[in-house]
Amino acid sequence: MPPRKNTWVLLLLLASKIALQYCVVSPQYDPHRDEFLHLDLGHHLAWGYLSVPPLSAVEAFCIQWLGNGEWAVRLFPAVFGALTILLVWQLVAAAGGHLYAQLLACFAMLFSSYLRLNMLFQPNSFDVLAWTWIYYCLVRYIQTEKPRWMIWLGVALGLGFLNKYNVMFLVVALLPALLLTPQRRLMATRPFWYGAGVALLIALPNIIWQWQHNFPLVHHMKELNTTQLVNVTASGYLLSQALFLFGSIYLWIGGVVALFVYPPFRSYRALGWSFLFVTGLYLLAHGKSYYAFGLYPMLLAFGSVYFEHLFEHGWKRYLRPLWVLVPVGLLAWVFDIVYPVASPARLQLQHHRMQRLGLLHWEDGKDHLLPQDFADMLGWHQMADLALSAYHKLPDSVKPHTLVICGNYGEAGALNFYNHGKMPDAIAYNADYAYWFPKMDTLSAIILLDDEPDELAKRVAGSIVKEGQVTNGYARENGTAVFTLRELQPGLLALLRDKATATINEYEARK
417 and 359 in a single domain? The answer is no
User: Is the pLDDT confidence value at 227 over 70?
Assistant: no
C-alpha to C-alpha distance for 435 and 504, rounded to whole angstroms:
7
User: Is the pLDDT confidence value at 214 over 50?
Assistant: yes
Q: Of 34-38, 48-52, 320-324, which has the strongest mean pLDDT?
A: 34-38
CB contact at 8 A, 447 and 484: yes
Is 2 part of any domain? no
316 and 393 in a single domain? The answer is no
Query: Cα 193 to the chain's mean position, in Å?
Result: 30
Mean pLDDT of the chain: 92
Q: Range of 367's domain?
A: 344-375
Per-residue pLDDT band at 226 (split at 50, 70, 90): low
356 and 414 in a single domain? The answer is no
C-alpha to C-alpha distance for 275 and 288, rounded to whole angstroms:
16
Hey, what amino acid is at 472?
N
- Listing DSSP states for 78-110 in one string gives HHHHHHHHHHHHHHHHHTT--HHHHHHHHHHHH
Q: Which of 167-181, 351-365, 409-423 has the lowest average pLDDT?
A: 351-365
Is 5 part of any domain? no
CB contact at 8 A, 130 and 166: no
Query: Cα 236 to the chain's mean position, in Å?
Result: 20
Region 283-289: what's the mean pLDDT?
A: 84
384 and 277 in a single domain? The answer is no
- The 10 Å Cβ neighbour count of residue 42 is 19
pLDDT at 16: 96
User: Is the pLDDT confidence value at 240 over 50?
Assistant: yes
pLDDT at 225: 67
Q: Which residues contact 97 (CB under 8 A, 6 or more apart)?
A: 105, 301, 304, 305, 308
C-alpha to C-alpha distance for 231 and 493, rounded to whole angstroms:
38
pLDDT digits (tens, 9 = 90+) for 288-299: 888 899 999 999
492 and 478 in a single domain? The answer is yes
Is 262 part of any domain? yes
Buried (b) or exposed (e) across 493-502, using 16+ Cβ within 10 A? beebbeebee
pLDDT digits (tens, 9 = 90+) for 460-498: 999 999 999 999 999 999 999 999 999 999 999 999 999
pLDDT digits (tens, 9 = 90+) for 132-183: 999 999 999 999 999 999 999 999 999 999 999 999 999 999 999 999 999 9
pLDDT at 1: 45
Is 431 part of any domain? yes
- Contacts from 89-95 at CB under 8 Å and sequence distance 24+? 89/10, 89/13, 90/136, 91/132, 91/135, 91/136, 91/139, 91/297, 91/298, 91/301, 91/302, 92/301, 92/304, 92/305, 94/136, 94/139, 94/140, 94/143, 95/139, 95/265, 95/268, 95/301, 95/302, 95/305
Region 455-460: what's the mean pLDDT?
A: 88
C-alpha to C-alpha distance for 379 and 33, rounded to whole angstroms:
10
284 and 366 in a single domain? The answer is no
pLDDT > 70 fraction of the chain, expressed in percent and rounded: 97
160 and 282 in a single domain? The answer is yes
Region 102-108: what's the mean pLDDT?
A: 96
Domain boundary among 358, 375, 392: 375
Give the 3-state secondary structure of residue 42.
Answer: helix
402 and 358 in a single domain? The answer is no
C-alpha to C-alpha distance for 221 and 168, rounded to whole angstroms:
14
271 and 391 in a single domain? The answer is no
pLDDT at 287: 81
User: Is the pLDDT confidence value at 230 over 80?
Assistant: no
266 and 415 in a single domain? The answer is no
Is 243 part of any domain? yes
34 and 165 in a single domain? The answer is yes
